[in-house]
């Protein structure tokens, strides 16, 4: 009488190996997805207007730009040394520039701080018409037609506004249009602190 064949016992190692392959096939992509999701979540919480510039505290590079058509005073690095000033990057084709321009006009009338304009990739006649139509709040303007100076300054887009200290260093950068709140609570207080610092240093220089 033929004997009944005994059932073959599964080798634990043979069972474990397929399980490991299934674990790897599903778990690794899941871990990758979680990492990407976390990275995106953190990125969405960042305000692009508050991303610090790598050039903060550094002296601006040497440049010399002619004035916007119809203006007489150009803009260069040497004229930004000696006093605290604002440099506003603008363009006639920039819709957001129209949003902040009335604030710049009112600020210029208050004579708190010199405002200089860096005209970014604009046609000369368009830039001239813009300032003639909307008003000119700038002490000096620089026609950066090819955008090279703006690139050196780390400009992301238009408008942007920089605070320059008396040493010709970038002390603060604001990305996007200026609002009344940003002007009153951030830019002007920052300018005031730098100006007071300059006064204290000037008084200290006169003593032994």
- Does position 144 have pLDDT exceeding 70, yes or no? yes
- Whole-number Å distance between alpha carbons of 110 and 108: 5
Please give the pLDDT value at position 2. 55
Please give the pLDDT value at position 5. 57
Asked if residue 96 lies in contact with residue 158, where contact means CB atoms within 8 angstroms, the answer is: yes
Asked if residue 90 lies in contact with residue 126, where contact means CB atoms within 8 angstroms, the answer is: no
Question: Mind giving me the DSSP string for 68-134?
Answer: PTT----EEGGGGSSS-EEEEEE-TT-HHHHHHHHHHHHHHHHTSS-EEEEEES--HHHHHHHHHHH
- For residue 4, name the pLDDT band (cuts at 50, 70, 90): low
Query: Class of 54-205 per CATH?
Result: alpha beta
Mean predicted confidence (pLDDT) in 116-128? 98
- Does position 43 have pLDDT exceeding 80, yes or no? no
- Whole-number Å distance between alpha carbons of 109 and 20: 73
Please give the pLDDT value at position 7. 53
Check residues 50 and 58 and name the one with the higher pLDDT. 58
- Does position 33 have pLDDT exceeding 80, yes or no? no
What are the two backbone dihedrals, phi and then psi, of residue 190, each rounded to the nearest 5 degrees?
-65, -45
- Whole-number Å distance between alpha carbons of 32 and 40: 12
Please give the pLDDT value at position 41. 36
Based on DSSP, count helices (H) and strands (E) in the chain, helices before strands.
6, 7
Which is nearest to 127 in space by CA: 70, 184, 177? 70
What letter does residue 168 receive in the DSSP assignment? S
Query: What are the boundaries of each domain within the chain?
Result: 54-205
The least confident of 1-15, 53-67, 134-148, 176-190 is 1-15
pLDDT in tens, 154-187: 998 999 999 999 999 999 999 999 999 999 999 9
- Does position 48 have pLDDT exceeding 90, yes or no? no
Mean predicted confidence (pLDDT) in 94-123? 97
How confident is the prediction for the chain on average, in pLDDT?
82
- For residue 194, name the pLDDT band (cuts at 50, 70, 90): very high
Q: Which pair of structure tokens corresponds to residue 194? A: 């730098």
């Amino acid at each position: 009488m033929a004997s009944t064949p005994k059932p073959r016992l599964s080798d634990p190692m043979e069972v474990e190996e397929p399980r490991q392959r299934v674990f790897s096939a599903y778990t690794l992509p899941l871990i990758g997805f979680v990492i990407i999701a976390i990275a995106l979540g953190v990125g969405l919480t960042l305000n692009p207007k508050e991303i610090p510039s790598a050039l903060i505290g550094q002296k601006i590079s040497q440049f010399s730009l002619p004035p916007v058509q119809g203006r007489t005073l150009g803009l260069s690095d040497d004229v930004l040394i000696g006093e605290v000033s604002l440099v506003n990057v603008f363009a006639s084709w920039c819709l957001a520039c129209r949003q902040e321009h009335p604030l710049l006009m009112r600020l210029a009338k208050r004579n708190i701080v010199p405002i200089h304009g860096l005209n970014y990739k604009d046609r000369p006649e368009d830039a001239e018409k813009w300032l003639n139509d909307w008003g000119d709040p700038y002490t000096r303007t620089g026609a950066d037609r090819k955008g090279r100076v703006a690139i050196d300054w780390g400009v992301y887009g238009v408008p942007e506004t920089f605070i320059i200290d008396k040493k010709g260093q970038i002390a603060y950068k604001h990305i996007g249009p200026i609002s009344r709140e940003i002007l009153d609570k951030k830019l002007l207080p920052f300018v005031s602190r730098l100006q007071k610092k300059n006064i204290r240093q000037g008084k200290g220089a006169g003593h032994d």
